[in-house]
């Protein structure tokens, strides 16, 4: 007799077939030219600037009192972070009931879940920092070239926590994007809103890719394939490339907004709102030029290092 925790062979066979088909589809999609890189920031990285790094302590905590102070602060931070998780969990039931009553939307429930995931990630990061401090006796480190602690890679562990959150965020914004597209097809929302959601989804995708690539750089550094300076330079290159991708996308979005506004209102470029929109496009242009210049400097230095080897 089949064990109740064993899968049904028909299910296993049918899923295997489905996965093969999905893999071929995904590979056809990825062979098209597309976005390559990412940026860190916004929700994922921004929400996780935590712990010792934010405290301004020196790296070597030679004085016992400094270490004790930092440990106490991290303990309190952890307690507060866990309380935030508890609070979000406690109010989840209320959000769900409100969704059932029709007072709030499914989207609110999904965002509430994201807040829980964010609070959990925060708590986990502080927990890791506390553990690192206790094992190493120094301030927790977050650089790609930071050393292992007793053979343990706290840097990668923290990146993985952020990746978990980034995945959750991506799922949510993709779902949002899909719903908005469906509503646009039904004529309920404008193409502009679809475009805006699309931009958010792309940003979330880049954030996740960025973290995955940081993890790869970290591995390359630990395997001695790259030096500490190269690791930091490559990270900078990665971040700048992603900033460029996003800025370019934003610029096109702002430009289209401006054109739509001028067409719809029948106004020229001197109209105050149109002028404001134009200024936003110009500002993005400036940021793009800056990012390009930074990228050139970083890549030149990487090139110089690779040829001088």
Q: Give the C-alpha distances (Å, rounded to integers) separating 56 from 52, 63, 70.
A: 7, 15, 10
Near other proteins in 74-133, by CB under 8 A: 82, 85-86, 89, 92, 96, 100, 109, 113, 116, 120, 123-124
Determine the Cα–Cα distance for residues 16 and 93; give it in Å rounded to an integer: 37
DSSP H stretches of helix in the chain: 9-30, 42-46, 64-101, 106-136, 154-185, 191-222, 228-265, 272-307
CB of 17 to other proteins, least distance (A): 10
The correct pick among 39, 67, 168, 251 for binding other proteins (CB under 8 A) is 168
x/- track of binding to other proteins for residues 175-214 (CB under 8 A): ----------------------------------x--x--
Tokens (6 digits) for 220: 């390359």
Instruction: Say what angle helices 191-222 and 154-185 make with each other, to 10 degrees.
Output: 160
Smallest distance, Å, CB 4 to other proteins? 4
- In this complex, which beta carbon is closest to other proteins, that of residue 43 or of residue 196? 43
Total Cβ atoms within 10 A of residue 178: 12
Residue with tokens 């899909």: 178
Which residues lie below 8 Å from residue 201, measured CB to CB, with a gap of 6+? 170, 173, 174, 176, 177
Task: Please select the residue that binds other proteins; options are 20, 137, 147, 286, rule is CB under 8 A.
Answer: 20
E-only strand ranges, the chain: none
Closest to other proteins by CB, 164 or 195: 164
152 beta partners: 149
Could you give the 3-state DSSP secondary structure of residue 27? helix
Contact region for other proteins (CB under 8 A) — 10-18, 39-47, 54-62, 181-189? 10-18
* Least distance in angstroms from the C-beta of 151 to other proteins: 13
Pick 6 or 264: Cβ nearer other proteins: 6
Contact between 220 and other proteins by CB under 8 A: the answer reads no
User: What is the Cα–Cα distance from 266 to 261, expressed in whole angstroms?
Assistant: 8
Is 7 a binding residue for other proteins by CB under 8 A? The answer is yes
Residue 5 Cβ vs other proteins, minimum distance, rounded to whole Å = 4
Binds other proteins by CB under 8 A, chosen from 1, 30, 101, 268: 30
Is 12 an interacting residue with respect to other proteins (CB under 8 A)?
A: yes
Per-residue burial over 286-305, b if 16 or more Cβ lie within 10 Å, else e, is eebeebeebbeebeeebeee
Q: Which residues bind other proteins (CB under 8 A)?
A: 4-8, 11-12, 15-16, 18-20, 22-24, 26-27, 30, 82, 85-86, 89, 92, 96, 100, 109, 113, 116, 120, 123-124, 164, 168, 209, 212
């Amino acid at each position: 007799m089949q064990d109740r925790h064993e899968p049904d062979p028909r299910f296993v066979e049918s899923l295997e077939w489905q996965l093969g088909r999905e893999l071929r589809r995904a590979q056809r999609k990825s062979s098209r030219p597309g976005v390559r890189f990412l940026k860190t920031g916004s929700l994922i990285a921004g929400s996780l600037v935590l712990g010792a790094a934010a405290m301004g302590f020196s790296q070597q905590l030679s004085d016992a009192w400094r270490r004790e102070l930092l440990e106490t602060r991290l303990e309190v931070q952890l307690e507060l972070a866990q309380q935030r998780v508890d609070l979000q969990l406690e109010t989840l039931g209320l959000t769900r009931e409100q969704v059932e009553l029709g007072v709030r939307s499914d989207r609110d429930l999904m965002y509430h879940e994201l807040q829980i995931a964010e609070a959990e990630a925060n708590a986990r990061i502080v927990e890791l920092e506390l553990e690192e401090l206790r094992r190493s006796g120094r301030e927790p480190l977050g650089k790609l070239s930071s050393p292992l602690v007793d053979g343990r890679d706290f840097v990668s562990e923290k990146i993985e926590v952020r990746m978990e959150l980034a995945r959750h965020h991506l799922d949510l914004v993709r779902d949002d994007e899909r719903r908005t597209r469906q509503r646009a097809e039904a004529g309920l929302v404008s193409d502009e809103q679809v475009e805006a959601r699309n931009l958010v989804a792309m940003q979330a995708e880049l954030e996740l890719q960025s973290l995955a690539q940081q993890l790869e750089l970290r591995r390359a550094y630990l395997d001695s394939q790259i030096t500490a300076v190269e690791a930091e330079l490559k990270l900078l290159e990665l971040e700048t490339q992603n900033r460029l991708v996003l800025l370019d996308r934003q610029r096109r979005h702002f430009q289209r907004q401006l054109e739509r506004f001028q067409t719809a209102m029948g106004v020229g470029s001197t109209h105050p709102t149109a002028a404001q929109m134009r200024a936003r496009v110009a500002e993005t242009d400036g940021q793009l030029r800056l990012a390009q210049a930074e990228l050139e400097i970083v890549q030149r230095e990487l090139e110089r290092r690779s040829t001088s080897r």
